[in-house]
Amino acid sequence: MSASTQTAPVREPLVGDEGGMGYLERLPRRLVTVYLPLLVFLFVLLFPFYWMAITSIKPNAQLTDYHNYSPFWVVDPTLDHIRYLLFETSYPGWLVNTMVVAVAATFVSLVTSVFAAYAIERLRFTGSRFVGLAIFLAYLVPPSILFIPLALMVFNFGIYDSKLALIFTYPTFLVPFCTWLLMGYFRSIPYELEECALIDGASRWQILVKVLLPLSVPGLISAGIFAFTLSWNEFIYALTFIASSENKTVPVGVLTELVRSDVYEWGSLMAGALIGSLPVVILYSFFVEHYVSSMTGAVKE
């Protein structure tokens, strides 16, 4: 057989020749590129919750005595701080107030943002791009600048020291953010779907309700989660527009009612912060799949 007809030996592919994530097959590389960053991330993410949990069940003597007790562990845990928080303060009422305000403000903001995002992205009127940019710039305005004129409006409408004061002022920073988020999601939905509906005789309202909104459920959930989280953690407006203890929200109530002059109820403070973070954690855990899908796009053309 001649040399020209001989076939060259086939080289076995080495690990990593295929590209992609093949370089992670070796243990040292996995340790440096995967496991170590993951451990650092988990520590940074979970350590604050661990610290709040152990502080909320520590006896008062162990909170400051670091010579005889380890700050990272609990000896003889107690539920006195949690019992004091739930039965001797207005914390349960603060939780209810925060939930009512967050849900109502999120609903109002989502409804307003859906109409605004649809008008800007799908109706294609003159200047729509500038309107979208203006909405995004409005989101960047710090709440510390807006609360002074908003305070005048709250006093003039007679809703100071009520939940309505927060429900009507929270959309000032929720609507721009939700509108900007939904604009990007509506933009990813093919226009052909809307054009087919128009040919079939559907109105704009029917297109919005029966075509766009069902396809935008992940985006709506994502915007709702962000709006609910921002409402739940908001502090400046709640501190400015609420005076009575029974109407306060969790962020304001925990700070103003559990700190007396230079006396800090550390156990109850940490218990209040830990319990107050649970609704947001539960919300994320239930809708994490929709949240991730909203970040990766909508309908493929």
Residues of the chain with pLDDT under 70: 1-27, 288-301
Q: With residue 39 as reference, give the H or E element that holds it.
A: helix 36-56
Structure tokens of 219? 């985006």
What values do phi and psi take at 264, rounded to 5? -110, 120
Residue closest to 249 by CA, chosen among 88, 81, 100, 56? 100
Q: How far apart are CA 208 and CA 214, in angstroms?
A: 9
CB 120 within 8 Å of CB 178: no
What's the pLDDT at 298? 44
Axis-axis angle for helices 128-139, 91-122 (nearest 10): 160
Among residues 210, 207, 252, the alpha carbon closest in space to that of 233 is found at: 252
- Tell me the backbone φ, ψ of residue 292, rounded to 5 degrees: -65, -40
Q: Which amino acid is at 72?
A: F
pLDDT of residue 9: 54
- Which CATH number does the domain 89-300 belong to among 3.40.50.10070, 1.10.10.10, 1.10.3720.10, 1.20.1050.140? 1.10.3720.10
Nearest one of 181, 159, 179, 298 to 241, comparing CA atoms: 159
What pLDDT is attached to residue 299?
43
- Say what the pLDDT of residue 175 is: 92
- The pLDDT, as a whole number, for residue 17 is 47
Q: CB atoms < 10 A from the CB of 37, how many?
A: 10
Residue 159 CA to residue 181 CA, distance in Å, equals: 30
Distance from chain centroid for Cα 229: 4
The residues pairing with 259 across neighbouring beta strands, listed in sequence order, are 264
CB 222 within 8 A of CB 290: yes
Q: Is 127 helix (H, G, I), strand (E, B) or coil?
A: coil
- So what's the pLDDT on residue 242? 93
Output Rg (C-alpha) for the chain, integer angstroms: 27
